[in-house]
Structure 1
């Protein structure tokens, strides 16, 4: 699963805009816009979600799920909820 926040964070790490992400992963600009505007977990058809995740991985982005450590040792973003519980990993 990927959240809209992870999608925006991935773009920021890559230094690209929504149009650039759409071109990078092979989906339309409106698709990226809709996914980022969805809030929370991104919903879409399996093909589109697979393209997004695969394209980001190929570009060097590791998507880290809740309570999952990062194995790549590279850059990343982690959002921590008040009280120390992990909310979402980017």
Structure 2
């Protein structure tokens, strides 16, 4: 499992706070390759980018964004999201 857990003002993590559901939904809304898939939950998103999986996904829960068994493409997407949200 790969997770983004907190946002931090610096890499030491002294000032951390969880990613809010509102931030997650705004990010999904602003990304043409992400879309919410309500059949799996209010915060479950499918990524339409190139992946070895048919439906690569990301999910938000309790301040964390996660996915399971990411291939290289999904891993790179998670890094892109981490950068946008200043998350680690």
Q: TM-score, normalised by structure 2?
A: 0.35
Task: Return the structure number with greater strand share.
Answer: 2
More RCO (CA 8 Å, sep 6+): 2
Task: Return the structure number with greater helix share.
Answer: 1
